[in-house]
Amino acid sequence: MTVLQELEEIQRKQQAVVAGIAKDLLGALIKATPVGNPSLWKINEGRVGKLRKPKGYAGGTLQNSWELIKDGNDYILFNPIFYASIATAPYIREGAIQQGSTQFRAGIQPVIDAYDRELQRRLDRI
């Protein structure tokens, strides 16, 4: 095997590892993304019995909107829902302002960091 062939084989293996991690991360993000909890919504504050949902609410929209886009050798994970960056941020509440989700208090970054470490570990073994 020539040096060029060896290099091409290494690149092929690296691309396969990156693709696998990207797909695994997509699955983890879908699983970790918070879903609606009617007991926490303002519309249901103090309400007993059957809880209501806000007008236009469709359950699972945020969770099911993750996209994995391949751009050359890169992968982009994207959620086009307008409130995705707020819901997946670390939970912070300051007075009446809230960011993040009580269901996902650490936010999305620890999930991404764990997969980044796994990616580096697998790439180092090639």
**How many degrees, rounded to 5, is the angle at CA 94 between CA 109 and CA 48?**
95
pLDDT above 90 coverage of the chain, percent: 60
Tens digits of residue pLDDT in 19-31: 999 999 999 999 9
β-sheet bridge partners, residue 16: none
Is residue 70 one of the residues assigned to a domain? yes
pLDDT band at 49 (very low <50, low <70, confident <90, very high): confident
The residue-averaged pLDDT of 7-24 equals 96
Whether the model pTM is above 0.85: no
pLDDT band at 125 (very low <50, low <70, confident <90, very high): very high
Is residue 59 one of the residues assigned to a domain? no
Tell me: pLDDT of 96 over 80.
Answer: no
Is residue 30 one of the residues assigned to a domain? yes
Is residue 92 one of the residues assigned to a domain? yes
Q: What residues make up the domain containing 25?
A: 3-53+64-124
Helical axes 3-32 vs 109-124, angle rounded to 10°: 160
Is residue 28 one of the residues assigned to a domain? yes
Query: Radius of gyration (Cα) for the chain, nearest Å?
Result: 20
